[in-house]
Amino acid sequence: MGGVQARMEAALGRLLPAAHLAPARLHEAMRYAVLEGGKRVRPLLAFAAGEVSGARPERVEIAAAAVEMIHAYSLVHDDMPCMDDDVLRRGKPTVHIEYDEATAMLVGDALQSLAFQLISENRLSENPSFQLEMVRTLAVASGSRGMAGGQQIDLDSTGKSLAPPELEFMHIRKTGALIRAAVLLGFLSGERIDQEERQRLDRYAKAVGLAFQVVDDVLDHEASTATLGKTAGKDSKQGKSTYVSAVGAAQARAMAEDLRAQAHGALAGLGARARRLGELADFIVLRKF
């Protein structure tokens, strides 16, 4: 995985506008928001999905960078005072703290535009119709029926106790949609687009996207239990429902395990081409951080 992450860091650095270009403050802040950040789970998924369809790395990396620009923009906006009001992200001051709120808003706005620019100005498929489909997939995943909609549901439900189906409705949008888009865009960058394989990958991605959130909730609960000795983690302190608050830690862990099995099931028959996707499902569910 380290190879993909290093490759992505270089690609992101190259695809972001140079820091000296005007307006320099905006471009610097965009680079600050995106570079040296995170586990790059979505790019890892895109590269793994590209192995199923025989995608060239120089194409997948652009599709993956577009997804990562969307992910990064959502974190910048989420951290702002009117949303989660966070001052630290990955150990560094958040963008609105390091720069200012207006710049942070524009950083998010411009990163979203850049994502669509990347998919449209580079040749990512021999078939331009597939490329339009990548645009559509990423737009739907980002918008009001996808990520932004999931964040609105999250806002609307703060202080309320959500049942598991409502939690799922929210998380499928808030985090699941973009994870699905990462898998589909990676797959669509490839040379061999088989529609039945595409549906399998979509089933895989739905399971993995939800598993990602369930595991986050479990880890958040365990970390806070370990650190504080008794109370639950940050989300539940903020009055947010989690899978642990909804069904308990043991049941949430069982759910994650079940989703991991579903993900592997969707890959059955794809053989060695899907090996990395299988490893990522394991990594996402079994990780300890």
**Residues 7-26 vs a second copy: string with x where CB under 8 A?**
----------x---xxx-xx
148: contact with a second copy by CB under 8 A? yes
Strand partners, 14: none
Work out whether 143 is an interface residue with a second copy (CB under 8 A): yes
Separation of alpha carbons 117 and 16, rounded Å: 11
Q: How far, in Å, CA of 168 to CA of 242, rounded?
A: 10
Decide if residue 163 touches a second copy (CB under 8 A).
Answer: no
Query: Do residues 37 and 24 lie in contact, with contact meaning Cβ atoms separated by under 8 Å?
Result: no
CB 121 → a second copy: shortest distance, Å?
A: 5
| CB environment 164-196: b (16+ within 10 A), e (fewer) | eeebbbbbbbbbbbbbbbbbbbbbbbbeebeee
Q: Is 250 in the site for a second copy (CB under 8 A)?
A: no
Q: Does position 239 bind a second copy by CB under 8 A?
A: no
Residue 226 interacting with a second copy (CB under 8 A) = no
Strands 92-93 and 88-89: antiparallel
> Which residue from 98, 111, 109 is spatially nearest to 65, judged by alpha carbons?
111
- Count of residues in contact with a second copy, rule CB under 8 A: 54
| Residue 56 binds to a second copy (criterion: CB under 8 A) | no
Tell me: does residue 80 bind a second copy (CB under 8 A). Answer: yes
Residue 143: helix, strand or coil by DSSP?
coil
Nearest to a second copy of 106, 263 (CB atom): 106
Q: Does 136 bind a second copy (CB under 8 A)?
A: yes
Strand ranges for 42-187 from DSSP E: 88-89, 92-93
Under 8 Å between Cβ of 170 and 153: yes
Whole-number minimum distance, CB 252 to a second copy, in Å?
24
Contact footprint for a second copy (CB under 8 A): 17, 21-23, 25-27, 30, 73-74, 77, 80, 82-83, 100-103, 105-106, 108-110, 112-114, 116-117, 119-121, 128-129, 131-133, 135-136, 138-140, 142-146, 148-149, 151-153, 155-156, 169
